[in-house]
Structures are given as C-alpha cells and as structure tokens.
C-alpha cells in the first residue's frame, strides 16, 4: 500500500522544510501553494515534492484540490506547521498494510508560546488526518475544515507535533483572518449575533478551557490561552454583528 502526503501552503518558507523532512518516507508528497511571495515553492520543489499552484479558495476547497492531485492508496493530510514524529511514521506505515479501517484519527500536541500544552482542551486533540483515497473528502469550509469519512474510523497511538504560535503577534494576526472567515461563514448561513452571544459564548469558552479542561495546570500559558480563545469567540460574533450594519 502506498501513501500520499498533502500539504497546502502560503508563505510558509519558515516551516515547510522541517515539515517535508518529517514525511520524507512517504511515496508521494503533494504541495498545493497559493502563489506564495516567499521561497515556499522553491524549497518544496528542491525537496522533491510535487508542487501545484492555485489561487486561494478557502481551506476546505484548497485541501480538496490537493486531494485530487494525490495518486496513492492512502492520504495523510498535514499542515506546514506540523511534524510527523519517527514513531508516528513507523506506526502509520505499519497499519496501512493490513488495516480494516478506512481512516484514522491522530492526536496533535501543540507548542504554544514556547511550551507544550498538556491540557486546556488542546491535548489530547484528535483529528482525522489519515484515510484511504476515495473514502474521505474535506468539508468545504472557509476555516476549521475537517475530513468527512465514509467507512470505519480508528485511532493511532502516536502524536503529531503542532508548532502553532511562537509569539502573540502571530496568534493575533491569525485571529484577525480566522474570525473574519468564520463570521462570513456564519453570516452566509443566516446566523445573527446577539448581546447574549457576545457575552455568554466567550465566558463559556474561558470556563470550559481553564476550569473544565484544566487549563490552570498549564500555568500562565493556560490562562493566556483561555483568555485569547474567549476573545477569539467575542471577535467572531462582533464581526458577525458588524456584517449586518447598514453600509455607509
């Protein structure tokens, strides 16, 4: 059985090389680049990946395009800021040969502001990333896309490393982009923001992450993460409210 790794990129020259090194064992590596302005495409080509370029279509559609470019029996989808450990690589290669499953969830371990997060709802963080070609497709969402699987799903033991945010500027920049996409998606579905949603939803996220998911055990990192996550929700619904304001 053979495996294709698919990666979507845009200005990922700081991450792409280490990401590619972690999956060098794959039969095929497909990189779909949204016309990066840096050396992402060059670095991927020099590594030997099959590089395709297309304009940005949203996370879900972009990954489905990458999926259409892959030729092998199994698909492993990772992001440029993620790494497959040698132990996880060995596990993946082992299960593909005689697997009765059609897809597998992989646990992600996040590195946030210089620390591995062990709680806060971020760990363990299982997501479906490995699946048979033809059995999975990405939900065409603007952000927070996921794989829709047809068939049986299992779970792997190894963890995937996620180097998510090295500094607050990176997090806040991403927050601005993601909240706009999420608000637009909610608005397209006819959703509306209320005073209640602007108050209760952020407070619940903080309580869930910091108390219920034991974010306090992550120390100051857990507190900051809970505050930022609640702020993310507030901004998302504030932007949803803004969408319906009369245009000047």
SS3 string of 201-216?
HHHHHHHHHHHHCCHH
How buried is residue 70: exposed, middle or buried, by Cβ count under 10 Å (0-12/13-18/19+)?
Answer: buried
What tokens were used for 241?
């409210």
Q: What is residue 84's three-state secondary structure? A: strand
What tokens were used for 117?
């997060």
Measured distance CA(160)–CA(105) in Å, rounded: 11
Residue 248, pLDDT > 80, answer no
Residue 9, pLDDT > 80, answer yes
Q: Mean per-residue pLDDT for 37-49?
A: 98
Q: Where are the beta strands (DSSP E) in the chain?
A: 3-9, 28-33, 50-53, 74-77, 82-84, 103-112, 115-116, 125-132, 136-138, 147-149, 153-165
Whether the link from the prior residue into 124 is cis, omega within 30° of 0, is yes
Displacement of CA 150 from its chain's centroid (Å): 20
Return the C-alpha torsion angle 241, 209, 169, 139, nearest 10.
-60
Q: Mean per-residue pLDDT for 123-146?
A: 94
Q: Domains, the chain, ranges and CATH?
A: 3-165 (3.90.550.10), 168-243 (no CATH)
Q: What pLDDT, in 10s, does the model give residues 96-134?
A: 888 999 999 999 999 999 999 999 999 999 999 999 999
Q: Taking the complete model, does pTM exceed 0.85, yes or no?
A: yes
Q: Mean per-residue pLDDT for 63-87?
A: 97
Q: How many CB atoms lie within 10 A of CB 6?
A: 26
Residue 247, pLDDT > 90, answer no
pLDDT value for 13 = 97
Q: What pLDDT, in 10s, does the model give residues 204-238?
A: 999 999 999 999 999 999 999 999 999 999 999 99
pLDDT value for 98 = 87
Displacement of CA 213 from its chain's centroid (Å): 20
Query: At a CB cut-off of 8 Å and minimum separation 6, what does 82 contact?
Result: 19, 108, 160, 161, 162, 163
Mean of per-residue pLDDT scores for the chain: 96
pLDDT value for 31 = 98
What tokens were used for 36?
């990066």
* Residue-wise DSSP of 111-135: EETTEE--STTTSSEEEEEEEETTT
From residue 77, alpha-carbon distances to 80, 124, 127, 204 in Å are 10, 18, 10, 31
Q: Which residue has the higher pLDDT, 97 or 73?
A: 73
């Amino acid at each position: 059985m053979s495996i294709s790794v698919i990666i979507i990129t845009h200005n990922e020259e700081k991450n792409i090389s280490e990401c590619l090194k972690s999956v060098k064992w794959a039969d095929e590596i497909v990189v779909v680049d949204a016309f990066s302005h840096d050396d992402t495409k060059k670095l991927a080509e020099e590594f030997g990946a099959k590089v395709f370029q297309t304009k940005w279509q949203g996370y879900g559609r972009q990954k489905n395009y990458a999926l259409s470019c892959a030729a092998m029996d199994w698909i492993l989808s990772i992001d440029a800021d993620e790494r497959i450990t040698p132990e996880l690589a060995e596990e993946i290669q082992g299960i593909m040969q005689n697997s009765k499953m059609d897809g597998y969830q992989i646990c992600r371990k996040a590195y946030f502001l210089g620390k591995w997060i062990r709680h806060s709802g971020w760990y363990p963080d299982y997501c479906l990333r490995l699946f048979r070609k033809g059995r999975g497709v990405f939900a065409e969402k603007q952000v927070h896309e996921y794989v829709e699987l047809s068939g049986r799903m299992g779970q792997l033991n190894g963890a995937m490393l996620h180097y998510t945010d090295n500094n607050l500027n990176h997090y806040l920049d991403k927050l601005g982009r993601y909240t706009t996409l999420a608000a637009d998606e909610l608005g397209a579905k006819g959703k509306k923001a209320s005073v209640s949603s602007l108050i209760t939803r952020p407070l619940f996220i903080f309580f869930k992450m910091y108390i219920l998911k034991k974010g306090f055990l992550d120390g100051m990192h857990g507190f900051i993460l809970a505050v930022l996550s609640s702020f993310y929700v507030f901004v998302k619904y504030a932007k949803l409210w803004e969408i319906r304001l009369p245009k000047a």
